[in-house]
Structure 1
Amino acid sequence: MPFPASLPPVLLRALHERGYAEPTSVQAAVLEDGTRGRDLLVSAQTGSGKTVAFGLAVAPDLMGSEDHLPPARNPLALVVAPTRELALQVKNELAWLYAPAGGRVVSCVGGMDPIAERRALSQGAHIVVGTPGRLRDHLDRGNLQPDALRAVVLDEADEMLDLGFREELEAILDAAPEGRRTLMFSATVPKAIAHLAESYQRDALRIEAGKEGGQHGDIEYRVAIIAPHDVERAVVNLLRASDSPRAIVFCSTRAAVARLHGNLAERGFAAVSISGELTQAERSRALQGLRDGKAQVCVATDVAARGIDLPDLGLVIHAELPKEPETLLHRSGRTGRAGRKGVSVLVVPPSRRRFAERLLMAAKLQASWGEAPSAELIRERDTVRLGEQAKTLAAEEPAADELEAGQALLAAAGPEAVAAALIRLLRAPLPAPEELSAVQDDRRPTRAPREREGGEGAWFRMNVGRDGKADPKWILPFLCRRGKVARGEIGRIRILGRETHFEVAPHVATRFAAAARRPDPTEPHIRVEPVPAGETDARQDHRARR
């Protein structure tokens, strides 16, 4: 279905020139009959075209029946976004959309020169896009005059509340004229968002563009099970095996980003990094390098999970798992945008397997489980890809001097040697694939043998029993993960009413006890401790008497 003909012709022309043939689901939803003039509370998947959606939704408020915007004075629309990156991305999107209408879009974000922003505001703007803290600062200083606002848009409203911007948002909304429209866009609508909507919207129309929190049809989710110390090597192989010209790798901390970025650069990848310790100028240079093709890989913390739209980004790798399902969705949403296909890969060592399963379940995602690509597989793919590349080069019409040099080379070395040399030359710039350790597939049911080498094992207990729905199906993998031992090193398991006793092979008992003392962040309520020798002996005496 095409865009509604009721939209201003200049905006339709901008959409056509940008390659928009028809609206996405969220764009179509906010342009339906009955939405005009109303407050909207919209939930939609990331990467679904929300910026263009609210840009078109507020067009009647900004332009009325005119074909061009009036002269820029005090802003007519205000867009609030949680991060600098998202705000600048929104500014760029609205700038091309409203350029044919004479639109002037100004950004006000933390980390940029506030004096330059004040100057830009004083020169007039139709739309102001900014982060909550900086916008409130300009309001308090009188640099941003809200009296002419006809529409206020909160983009990624759930994220702004999660980041603690409630006070700033309420101050901004309180300053806006009562008659303005308020549009809230949010990936999810928890109670806090619903309460904010009730307080600041009038009879808002609730729109769900696509199943909230569900699977994005253009993103394929995979889980790569790896050996515990193979995370960075697995990332290397995932990048090498992919055909995507751009990729982003997510880590949880700045330190992890710096370490992985350095290791990838050392291996020969054209990589950049984005984290909270970088200045805005450094982040902008990194993103521009990706857009220009000077870099192919971005290593980032979750500061990059929202609002960054990179061309041809077909692969997202979660080198470290996010803590929340919403973060997983927003990270993954950097790919599969505007109808393009993408892949999101979770790198999961055995100790994080159960957490990964719960994370995917909470995010309502289906993923295929397997192992990271092996070095052998990558070399096989290289042979095919480099062969195709060599054929393409050979098909090009050679210059006379090139043909003469080629004939001389064939005469001197022979065609097979020349072809092998060409493949070797093409392969040389590619980072070498990594040899990965073997991974035991702990999804396969395995019965723990009752007898162990080395005599009677050491006994431990955990504070979960039948009353807590203890089940060997999850107890055995949990104990292996908690104690960093193999399945064959766990012996007899006795599930009692309020606790469970189990046997550990004597040669790993000390190591198991040290590892098990540390709480598991995925199961912090479960305690594991040795069973006192006297208590074990008493149980054995009791069984003997029976």
Structure 2
Amino acid sequence: MSFENLGLSSSLLKAIEEQGYDKPSPIQEQVIPVVLQGKDVLASAQTGTGKTAGFTLPILEQFTENPHHNLKKRNIRALILTPTRELAAQIQENVINYSKHVDVRSTVIFGGVKQAAQVRALQKGVDILVATPGRLLDLHNQGEVKLNKIEVLVLDEADRMLDMGFHRDIQRIMNLIPSSRQTLLFSATFSTEIRRLASKFLTDPVTVEVAATNTTAERVNQSFYKVDKTSKAMAVIHLLEKWDEEQVLIFCRTKHGASRLSKRLEKKGISSAAIHGDKSQQQRIRALEGFKKGAIRVLVATDIAARGLDIPLLPYVINYEMPNVPADYVHRIGRTGRAGASGDAHSLVGQDETEYMLAIGKLLKKAIKAKVLEGFEPSDNPPKIPQHNKPSSNKPTRKPNGGGGFKKKRPAAGSGNSEQGGNRNARSGRQNTGEGKAKLSNNRRSNRR
């Protein structure tokens, strides 16, 4: 199968060739013809398999065949919703590359930066808008975005949007766009929540699933090492020295841990930058650009970078701290082994993280055996695992209350400064004060962007 067989115009084929694509990936091969037929799609595929091109190319083809009647006043015809700023920027970059030779305009909006430039781009008129839910609703409430002409809606990384608490925002956005639209829902996993969302917003969708749920790319070699927590930083430095000057993406569970490790690498003369939720958007953009251009050798990140980073020839990923949500492991190591290339994922497993490793093995349906990294053998006295560090399935713990119903269990105090947990902990001791409520409300709005 070639791209020529998929019904794409010569202008798009030229852009595809310039990107170095020779043949469509399985997800592209199955999705593009269905989207061109105007059908709704519920699609799942491994991360890094070309989902973005799978929905962008047919949208561009449709808009090229049926252009705006009045090109001086363009309305937003396609809306691509995505959970994170990094992923939104990555999708927009791809849309620009694919639309080089067609008369289709696009722009991206997300929080964390001033809105003036985004508003100016919208005022010029665009056909395709890539957005995160929070900033989209903010600009709509200000009258800067009109969604009444939407023909195609794309929900990308829908499972991540639900994990991040965007369900209500998605519902609000759905109420603002026409009901007679084409809807494309892309997700790395087909959870019960995703299927429920699809049944609510999609009409007779064609289901496309090119790989088993929660599988990892076949081209990624995975290694697990037992390492004492206190020895992890030196183990990372050992691996980096072993890999010469190759670029490496390192994942930490907490913002503080990411910053601390990055600073330690810098002191060892290894060019490094950290990216997490406490960094400003400009800092995150500079770090990503530096990493992509090769000016920064090591990028240390929390799970905000587990999706949205597309670096085609990234050779190595290190899990410095194991994720307590097993599915996050799939997305982390999916940053390597992309676009047909091979890659290596190395996980440093502390003695208090063994349960995380076993949970990942259960998810992947294969036995995982950790090796010993020479020179970093663990001690014989494993520490006890705190209750709040038990592996999570992303489902709230519930127990019967006095009325026979159920109530959610509150998170344990001091459960770390993880990307999603910090604001929950901020509630304690302030939730009954006006100042506390105002701060909590501001935090919620900020996180949605």
Same fold (TM > 0.5): yes
> Greater relative contact order (Cα 8 A, min sep 6): structure 1 or 2?
2
Matches within 5 A, 1:154-233: 154-233=155-234
Paired residues of 1:121 and 1:143 also in contact (CA < 8 A): yes
Deviates more, 1:325-334 or 1:110-119: 110-119
Amino acid at match of 1:360: G
Aligned to 1:362: 363
Paired residues of 2:79 and 2:128 also in contact (CA < 8 A): yes
Paired residues of 1:254 and 1:275 also in contact (CA < 8 A): yes
Matches within 5 A, 1:439-450: 439=378
The CA deviation string for residues 5-62 of structure 1, in whole angstroms up to 9 with x for no partner, is: 4212111110001101001111111024686210001011111111111102323432
Amino acid at match of 2:280: T
Cα 1:48/1:72, change in 2 over 3 Å: farther
Cα 1:244/1:105, change in 2 over 3 Å: farther
Matches within 5 A, 1:359-398: 359-364=360-365, 369-372=370-373, 374=374
For 1:212 and 1:356, how far apart are their aligned partners in 2?
A: 18
Cα 1:292/1:523, change in 2 over 3 Å: closer
The CA deviation string for residues 245-302 of structure 1, in whole angstroms up to 9 with x for no partner, is: 2111111111111111111111111111101111111111111111222111001111
Paired residues of 2:271 and 2:297 also in contact (CA < 8 A): yes
For 2:335 and 2:69, how far apart are their aligned partners in 1?
A: 33
The CA deviation string for residues 362-416 of structure 1, in whole angstroms up to 9 with x for no partner, is: 13456563223x4xxxxxxxxxxxxxxxxxxxxxxxxxxxxxxxxxxxxxxxxxx
Aligned-partner SS, 1:237: helix
Aligned to 1:101: 102
Shift of 1:139: 2.0
Aligned to 1:281: 282
What is the percentage of aligned positions where both structures have the same residue? 33
Paired residues of 1:75 and 1:127 also in contact (CA < 8 A): yes
1:438 counterpart = 2:377: yes
Amino acid at match of 1:39: D
Instruction: Please point out which of 511, 521, 532 is paired with 2:389.
Output: 521
Runs of at least 5 residues in structure 1 that lack an aligned partner in the other structure? 375-435, 443-479, 485-514, 526-546
Shift of 1:330: 0.8
For 1:62 and 1:206, how far apart are their aligned partners in 2?
A: 24
Shift of 1:110: 0.5
For 1:244 and 1:156, how far apart are their aligned partners in 2?
A: 32
Cα 1:297/1:226, change in 2 over 3 Å: same
Root-mean-square deviation (Å): 2.5
Paired residues of 1:244 and 1:315 also in contact (CA < 8 A): no
For 1:312 and 1:366, how far apart are their aligned partners in 2?
A: 28
Amino acid at match of 1:171: R
Cα 1:366/1:27, change in 2 over 3 Å: farther
Paired residues of 2:359 and 2:391 also in contact (CA < 8 A): no
Amino acid at match of 2:278: E
Shift of 1:115: 2.3
Amino acid at match of 1:133: G
Aligned-partner SS, 1:316: strand
Matches within 5 A, 1:38-117: 38-64=39-65, 73-117=74-118
Paired residues of 1:81 and 1:87 also in contact (CA < 8 A): yes
Aligned to 1:253: 254
Cα 1:65/1:98, change in 2 over 3 Å: same
Cα 1:329/1:318, change in 2 over 3 Å: same
Cα 1:87/1:327, change in 2 over 3 Å: same
Aligned to 1:3: 3
Cα 1:227/1:21, change in 2 over 3 Å: same
Paired residues of 2:44 and 2:186 also in contact (CA < 8 A): yes
The CA deviation string for residues 114-136 of structure 1, in whole angstroms up to 9 with x for no partner, is: 22212211110011001011111
The CA deviation string for residues 302-352 of structure 1, in whole angstroms up to 9 with x for no partner, is: 111110112531111111010112111111111111111111111012332
Paired residues of 1:319 and 1:346 also in contact (CA < 8 A): yes
Aligned-partner SS, 1:183: strand
Amino acid at match of 1:107: V
Q: TM-score, normalised by structure 2?
A: 0.82
Matches within 5 A, 1:503-522: 519=387, 521-522=389-390
Cα 1:523/1:287, change in 2 over 3 Å: closer
Task: Report which of the two has the higher share of helix.
Answer: 1
Runs of at least 5 residues in structure 2 that lack an aligned partner in the other structure? 398-449
Paired residues of 1:272 and 1:299 also in contact (CA < 8 A): yes
Aligned to 1:330: 331
For 2:32 and 2:292, how far apart are their aligned partners in 1?
A: 31
Amino acid at match of 2:158: A
Structure with higher Rg: it is 1
Paired residues of 1:221 and 1:368 also in contact (CA < 8 A): no
Aligned-partner SS, 1:229: helix
Shift of 1:197: 1.1
Amino acid at match of 1:40: V
Amino acid at match of 1:293: G
Aligned-partner SS, 1:317: strand
1:270 counterpart = 2:271: yes
Aligned to 2:26: 25
Alignment: residue pair count: 392
Paired residues of 2:312 and 2:341 also in contact (CA < 8 A): no
1:239 counterpart = 2:178: no
For 2:35 and 2:247, how far apart are their aligned partners in 1?
A: 41
For 2:215 and 2:69, how far apart are their aligned partners in 1?
A: 39
Aligned-partner SS, 2:100: helix
Matches within 5 A, 1:110-129: 110-129=111-130
Cα 1:30/1:358, change in 2 over 3 Å: same
For 1:134 and 1:44, how far apart are their aligned partners in 2?
A: 27
Q: TM-score, normalised by structure 1?
A: 0.68
Amino acid at match of 2:295: K
Aligned to 2:440: none
Shift of 1:236: 1.1
For 1:244 and 1:26, how far apart are their aligned partners in 2?
A: 33
Amino acid at match of 1:2: S
Shift of 1:67: 12
